[in-house]
């Protein structure tokens, strides 16, 4: 994921340059300590001018230019003020560079995470429906939202905090080498030990974070199921059961988070203890060298002080590395989504499917859902003429909805094929198929937004006039105009502010606006009252002219209005024909009709949400 930062190479390079400028200011400040000590603690009358002349007299490989020597103050106090003023300027420049570095790097991280989040969501909604259903929407929601937030923390630790601290540590380290390289060599022994400590704790953090994210998915799933199905939970007095499931998942999250945080808490003290032991060892080494006269006390103090500054800059790295280790788990989980197979949108070999005008042919289609032991469809063959109205009936679980899903290419058959006007839809451009299919499900999908937005869902180019025309054809215009703001009325989440019949009429209006040649109805009137069903039946009858309509039906009224009835059982077609002949010769259909008649009126009012 960090490689995505390279998509903005200019800003990344500028951020690194600014971090280096900020660190250089720190290094310059440390190196100026020696002349300050010379000015304050040296012989009376020494100044920056005198120090420069003395330095040039040594014949070093680099000399102070004569123009600079002439400019330097000759008064000791003025020299101290000049050095302190220079330090103040360096501090301001370093602080400004540090601010700009943080601002640029934080912006880069935010944009990278936004891109990953968008790509993950785009990938998720383009994955095969069966895979999304199998894994559950809560898993994808958790990864796209929560894991992306965790990834942001890791990228910030890498590009902002770590870069800033490492560059400062390197600057201080260079200053320490200039003062006395022997102290630095002795201190470098601690490097491999520090790497081992951070590696061990990093593994524990990564494992704990992975477990916590997994259990957070479960927590989100329980919360979503409980709040979305609150009516059923309350009427079933199941609040205690759902609370127990939430508590169990919540405890698991805490357990895994504590596992990771224990490793985080351990890293800091271990690094600090190691640093103290290194300083003790350096003090013993320096004491011996000073007593021998091979090391000056001032050089030792300056080198040790620079190392202390370097250590202070490096010390937070244990926490930053922990943040990056914690971010590696969500990065891998997001990568799983980004690497998953998606529906083929368009390929060079794809055939653009022309508008349906002739027939739909289903040939020996079989399909088994992942993890299932029996086939949902088992060798189904069927031919439907353009403009024909087909009712698909059968017991629950016989494969009716799966058949409609295969027609819309929501599931890919294991065997057989579906042809529209001679074109195998598996080879057709997916958009050219979906654009001419209107799919109305039992539970109408309503998103948070206005009524007009919901009708135009998937057709953003539709004009307001076209939206209202579709609503009129769906017999929805009358109730929409009675809403507080008409078509601009904001509907509640999942359409809770509308009745079941109103939601279905908006869903029909959405299908009408698409002007598809094929209309698929999956029990579109099974949970609404008789008045709403009459409106919807009339809308389907009017819109269905010159279109192929395939409706999964439970109600006798829907069966009787169809041109042909297809009876399914155990994933197979067991009967086909008109109502009268099927009653006589198809046992499954006769049993369904008998159940409808014994159940009472077919238009029993359903409760309104």
Find the CATH number of the domain harbouring 319. 1.20.1560.10
Residue 98, judged by CB atoms within 10 A of its CB (0-12, 13-18, 19+), counts as: buried
Domain presence at residue 344? no
State mean pLDDT over 149-165: 77
Task: Count how many residues are written for the chain.
Answer: 609
Evaluate if residue 527 carries a pLDDT over 80: no
State mean pLDDT over 163-185: 64
> Is residue 335 located within the same domain as residue 394?
no
> Is residue 293 located within the same domain as residue 212?
yes
- CA nearest to 325, candidates 158, 141, 213: 158
Q: How far is the C-alpha of 104 from the C-alpha of 98, rounded, in Å?
A: 10
Evaluate if residue 293 carries a pLDDT over 70: no
> Is residue 327 located within the same domain as residue 433?
no
pLDDT at 187: 59
Mark which of 339, 371, 397 sits at the end of a domain: 339
573's enclosing H/E stretch is strand 572-577
Cα distances from 599 to residues 111, 282, 501, 537, 580, in angstroms, run: 59, 92, 21, 21, 20
Work out the pLDDT band at 285, boundaries 50, 70, 90: low
Q: How many other CB atoms sit within 10 Å of the CB of residue 142?
A: 21
Cβ within 8 Å of residue 598, ≥6 positions away:
none
Domain presence at residue 423? yes
Beta strands in 342-431 (DSSP E): 359-367, 377-385, 389-393, 415-420, 423-424
Most confident of 12-21, 239-248, 325-334, 412-421: 412-421
pLDDT at 606: 34
Domain presence at residue 345? no
> Of all residues in the chain, what percent carry a pLDDT higher than 70?
72
Q: How far is the C-alpha of 385 from the C-alpha of 474, rounded, in Å?
A: 24
- CA nearest to 470, candidates 430, 439, 511, 429: 511
Using one digit for the tens of pLDDT, what is the confidence trace for 372-384? 888 999 999 999 9
DSSP-assigned states of every residue in 199-212: HHHHHHHHHHHHHH
pTM: 0.68
Total number of domains constituting the chain = 2
pLDDT at 572: 92
Domain presence at residue 609? no
> Is residue 387 located within the same domain as residue 307?
no
Cβ within 8 Å of residue 342, ≥6 positions away:
123, 126, 127, 128
pLDDT at 392: 92
Work out the pLDDT band at 33, boundaries 50, 70, 90: low
pLDDT at 604: 37
**325 contacts 261 by C-beta, under 8 angstroms:** no
**266 contacts 201 by C-beta, under 8 angstroms:** yes
> Is residue 257 located within the same domain as residue 366?
no
Using one digit for the tens of pLDDT, what is the confidence trace for 346-399? 655 568 888 888 999 999 999 988 778 889 999 999 999 998 999 999 888 888
Q: Which domain holds residue 261?
A: 2-339
Domain presence at residue 451? yes
Q: Which residue has the higher pLDDT, 88 or 178?
A: 88
> Is residue 374 located within the same domain as residue 322?
no
Q: How far is the C-alpha of 245 from the C-alpha of 226, rounded, in Å?
A: 10
pLDDT at 603: 39
> Is residue 323 located within the same domain as residue 207?
yes
Domain presence at residue 406? yes
Residue 201, judged by CB atoms within 10 A of its CB (0-12, 13-18, 19+), counts as: buried
Domain presence at residue 479? yes
CATH number at residue 486: 3.40.50.300
pLDDT at 303: 61
Using one digit for the tens of pLDDT, what is the confidence trace for 102-127? 888 888 888 888 888 888 888 888 88
> Is residue 490 located within the same domain as residue 399?
yes
> Is residue 144 located within the same domain as residue 238?
yes
Evaluate if residue 229 carries a pLDDT over 60: yes
Phi-psi region of 528 (alpha: psi -120 to 50; beta: other; left: phi over 0): beta
> Is residue 524 located within the same domain as residue 407?
yes
> What tokens does 189 get?
């022994």
pLDDT at 364: 92
Q: Can you name the residues that pair with 390 across neighbouring β-strands? A: 550, 564
Interaxial angle between packed helices 317-339 and 163-179, expressed in degrees from 0 to 180 and rounded to the nearest 10: 140
Domain presence at residue 258? yes
Evaluate if residue 246 carries a pLDDT over 50: yes
> Is residue 424 located within the same domain as residue 490?
yes
**110 contacts 31 by C-beta, under 8 angstroms:** no
**b (16+ CB within 10 A) / e for 32-63:** bbbbeebbeeeeeebbbbbbbeeeeeeeeeee
Interaxial angle between packed helices 9-31 and 76-125, expressed in degrees from 0 to 180 and rounded to the nearest 10: 150
> Is residue 322 located within the same domain as residue 375?
no
């Amino acid at each position: 994921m960090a490689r995505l930062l390279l998509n903005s190479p200019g800003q990344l390079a500028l951020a690194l340059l600014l971090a280096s400028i900020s660190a250089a200011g720190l290094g310059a400040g440390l190196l100026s300590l020696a002349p300050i000590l010379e000015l304050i603690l040296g012989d009376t009358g020494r100044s920056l001018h005198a120090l420069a002349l003395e330095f040039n007299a040594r014949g070093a490989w680099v000399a102070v230019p004569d123009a600079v020597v002439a400019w330097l103050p000759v008064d000791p106090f003025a020299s101290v003020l000049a050095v302190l003023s220079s330090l103040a300027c360096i501090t301001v420049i370093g602080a400004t560079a540090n601010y700009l570095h943080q601002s640029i790097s934080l912006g880069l991280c935010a944009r990278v995470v936004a891109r990953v989040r968008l790509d993950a969501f785009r990938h998720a909604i383009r994955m095969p429906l069966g895979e999304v259903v199998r894994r559950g929407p809560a898993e994808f929601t958790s990864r796209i939202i929560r894991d992306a937030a965790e990834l942001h923390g890791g990228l910030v630790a890498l590009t902002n905090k770590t870069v800033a601290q490492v560059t400062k540590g390197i600057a201080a380290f260079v200053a320490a080498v200039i003062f006395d390289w022997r102290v630095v060599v002795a201190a470098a022994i601690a490097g491999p030990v520090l790497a081992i400590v951070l590696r061990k704790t990093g593994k524990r953090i990564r494992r704990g974070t992975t477990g916590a994210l997994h259990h957070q998915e479960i927590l989100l799933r329980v919360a979503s199921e409980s709040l979305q199905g609150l009516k059923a939970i309350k009427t079933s007095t199941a609040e205690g059961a759902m609370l127990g499931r939430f508590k169990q998942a919540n405890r698991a999250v805490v357990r895994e988070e504590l596992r990771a945080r224990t490793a985080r808490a351990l890293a800091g003290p271990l690094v600090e203890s190691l640093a103290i032991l290194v300083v003790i060892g350096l003090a013993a080494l320096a004491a011996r060298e000073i007593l021998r006269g091979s090391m000056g006390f001032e050089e030792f103090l300056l080198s040790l002080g620079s190392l202390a500054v370097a250590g202070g800059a490096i010390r937070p790295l244990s926490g930053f590395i922990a943040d990056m280790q914690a971010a590696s788990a969500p990065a891998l989980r997001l990568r799983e989504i980004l690497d998953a197979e998606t529906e083929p949108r368009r390929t060079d070999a794809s055939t653009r499917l022309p508008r349906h005008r002739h027939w739909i042919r289903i040939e020996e289609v079989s399909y088994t859902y992942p993890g299932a032991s029996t086939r949902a469809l088992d060798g189904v063959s069927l031919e439907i003429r353009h403009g024909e109205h087909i009712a698909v009936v059968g017991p629950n679980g016989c494969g009716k909805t799966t058949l409609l899903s295969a027609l819309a290419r929501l599931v890919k058959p294991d065997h057989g094929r579906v042809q529209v006007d001679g074109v195998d839809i598996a080879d057709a451009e997916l958009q050219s198929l979906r654009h001419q299919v209107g799919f109305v499900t039992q539970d109408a999908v309503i998103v948070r937004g206005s009524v007009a937005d919901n009708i135009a869902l998937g057709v953003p180019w539709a004009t307001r006039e076209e939206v209202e025309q579709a609503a009129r054809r769906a017999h929805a215009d009358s109730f929409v105009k009675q809403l507080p703001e008409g078509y601009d009325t904001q509907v509640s989440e999942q359409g809770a502010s509308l009745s079941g019949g109103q939601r279905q009429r908006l869903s029909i209006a959405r299908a009408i606006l698409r002007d598809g040649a094929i209309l698929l109805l999956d029990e579109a009137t099974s949970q609404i009252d008789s008045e709403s069903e009459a409106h919807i039946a009339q809308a389907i009858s009017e819109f269905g002219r010159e279109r192929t309509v395939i409706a999964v039906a439970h109600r006798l009224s829907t069966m009787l209005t169809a041109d042909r009835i297809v009876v399914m059982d155990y994933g197979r077609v067991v009967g086909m024909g008109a109502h009268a002949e099927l009653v006589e010769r198809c046992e499954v259909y006769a049993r369904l009709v008998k159940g409808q008649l014994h159940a009472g009126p077919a238009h029993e009012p359903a409760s309104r949400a």
